[in-house]
Amino acid sequence: MKTAGIFLAAWVVLAAAATAQVPPKPGPELKKLDIFVGSWTLDGNMKPGTMGPGGSMTESEKCEWMEGGFYIVCHSDYKSSMGNGVGLSVMGYSADDKAYTYREFNSFGEFDDSKGTLDGDTWTWTNDEKMGGMTMKGRFTIKMTSATSYNFTFDMSQDGTKWSTVMDGKASKK
């Protein structure tokens, strides 16, 4: 009887191990985000308009892969004519939406939820932004100029067809 109990227990353990799921592996799309890993310095020029008086902006950003390899987590410190602050952002890829994802939270109390595409060396992130009761469309474009630098623009539009540049600049990896 004792032998039958040990055999039954061993069988249950083996059956449970056979049905255990293998953890998912990151897809090939995520490897393309590797370019953003590291420490970056951004220098930008904010245009005068509805978002403020304009002026220069600088940002230091450090990005690294989260355990598991599905998300890049970035911490940033920025200084601008609108004030100084910090931000936390997370980049990944949604296989369901077939789009890159970008979510950011900052010390101004703002939240950004964007979807992105990659076309050659150009990343384009789009979202809807709420400003003063209105919903505006936002578009952040990154044009990679090398493995350690890129140019960026941030544009806004009321209707998604006529865009106005709100900020542009350059970034370099330290």
Residue range 110-155, pLDDT digits in tens: 899 999 999 999 999 999 988 778 899 999 999 999 999 999 999 9
Confidence of residue 4 (pLDDT cuts 50, 70, 90): low
**CA angle 164–135–86, rounded 5-degree value:** 75
DSSP for 34-77, written as a single string: GGG-EEEEEEEEEPSBTTBS-EEEEEEEEEEEPTTSS-EEEEEE
Whole-number pLDDT of residue 75: 98
86-95: average pLDDT:
98
Architecture of domain 25-173: Beta Barrel (2.40)
- Can you list the alpha helix ranges (DSSP code H) found in the chain? 2-19, 28-31
Distances 90 to 24, 67, 75, 173 between C-alpha atoms, Å: 19, 13, 9, 18
Q: What is the pLDDT of residues 62-77, one digit of tens each?
A: 999 999 999 999 999 9
Boundaries of every domain in the chain: 25-173
Q: What is the pLDDT of residues 31-55, one digit of tens each?
A: 999 999 999 999 999 998 776 788 9
Structure tokens at 21: 């799921």
pLDDT at position 7 over 60: no
